[in-house]
Every structure is written in structure tokens, then in C-alpha cells.
Amino acid sequence: MEKTDCNRKLLEVATQLFSERGLHGVSIRELSQAAGTSISMISYHFGSKEGLYSAVLQQQFACFAEIHEIRQRVSDPVEMVESYLRWTFQRHRNNPYLLRFYTSELTNPTAFFATLVMPVIDEVIVIMAQAIAEGIRQKRFRADVDPTNAALALAGMVNYFFLSSQATENLISHSPEQDEKLVQQYLAIFTRGVGAP
């Protein structure tokens, strides 16, 4: 197996196994066997099982950097909320293992949480809180809303849709064809609430 193929295969296999069982639930032997390579290749490419896990986390969370591009492109606060919702739906659709790593690291953090996971989550929340604060200044959002709490509520709302998909598959469609309709529904809930006028 070529070196680049070996690296790619190890990352692919590790992503699946680590997402299912976490860092400590997978042995280095299982990883090498599943990748069809020797244990020494893990050391060669990643230094250790922990190095491989770190590489998987970096790969999974790299998509969060796109929030900066969205923020540069979108200045209107309501449009920023809508763009965030659309991006989050797409992010989960394009990265089917991401939510497992996200929730695993939030509920049972590894040594990599503080350096690889928390900073990217913080960045997204800060950027969204800034957009919401701008909406408050423009009188487009309520003045009695804390921007950071609102950003967390927004993130919780859309991420929970994916987190609860198995439990709610009989209640609501989780088909990608419904994503745009859901983006608009969540935007309405976030910007107008659910109370009758």
C-alpha cells in the first residue's frame, strides 16, 4: 500500500471506529487490522493512536473554519442567522461522523478537547453572538436577549435536530430534501418565536 493510501485508509477507518467507540474504546491493533496495515504504520504516520485520533478530530472540525467566510460574505444579522442554519445543515450532511465527535468531546472530553474542539466551537458562538448583538443594535432582535445565550440556543436548536434524528424519525422528516424548509422554519422560530402575536 502506498504511503498516501495508507494514511488515507487509516484516517478513514479511525474516523468510523473512533466515532462509534471513542478514543479509549478502540485498540491500536483493531485500527491497523481494519486498515489492512501494520501497527507500525500508525506510529509512522501519526506517532501513536492518540496522534491518529488528533488527526481525525482536526479533519472533522476543519469544516468549522467556513464560519469566517460566511461572516465576511454576510453582514445583515438576520441573513447571518439564516446562513448559519443553512451551513449547519450542510455541515452535518457532508460530515456524517461530526456530530458523534462533537457530542462525545462535549460530554466526555479527551485531552484534545481544549486545543482542538473548544476553540472552534467558541469561534462559532462568538461570531454568531456578534451578529446577534449587531441585530440588537439595529433593533432587529429584542434588546432583552443576551447575544451569547441566543447564539447557544440557535446552535442547540439546529444541532439537536441531527442529534435526535433516530428518536424523531417517526415525528418529522429528516430527508435532505426538507432542509431548506427546515432552515426557514428554524429562522422563523428564532426571529419571531412561537408565541402568537
Cell 467566510, located at residue: 69
Please tell me whether residues 41 and 71 are part of one structural domain. no
Please tell me whether residues 30 and 65 are part of one structural domain. no
Question: Domain of 19?
Answer: 3-47
Per the CB < 8 A criterion, the answer to whether 61 and 97 are in contact is: no
Please tell me whether residues 35 and 87 are part of one structural domain. no
Please tell me whether residues 17 and 105 are part of one structural domain. no
Number of domains the chain contains: 2
pLDDT digits (tens, 9 = 90+) for 84-111: 999 999 999 999 999 999 999 999 999 9
> Does 56 reside within a domain?
no
How far apart CA 36 and CA 103 sit, in angstroms, is: 29
pTM: 0.91
Please tell me whether residues 120 and 66 are part of one structural domain. yes
What are the pLDDT tens digits along the chain (197 aa)? 566 688 999 999 999 999 999 999 999 999 999 999 999 999 999 999 999 999 999 999 999 999 999 999 999 999 999 999 999 999 999 999 999 999 999 999 999 999 999 999 999 999 999 999 999 999 999 999 999 999 999 999 999 999 999 899 999 999 999 999 999 999 999 999 878 77
Per the CB < 8 A criterion, the answer to whether 165 and 100 are in contact is: no
How far apart CA 99 and CA 106 sit, in angstroms, is: 10
Task: Say what angle helices 39-46 and 49-61 make with each other, to 10 degrees.
Answer: 60
Per the CB < 8 A criterion, the answer to whether 182 and 89 are in contact is: yes
Query: Residue 100: what residue type?
Result: R
| Of 29, 31, 38, 28, nearest in space to 17 by CA | 31
| Of 96, 98, 92, 70, nearest in space to 179 by CA | 92
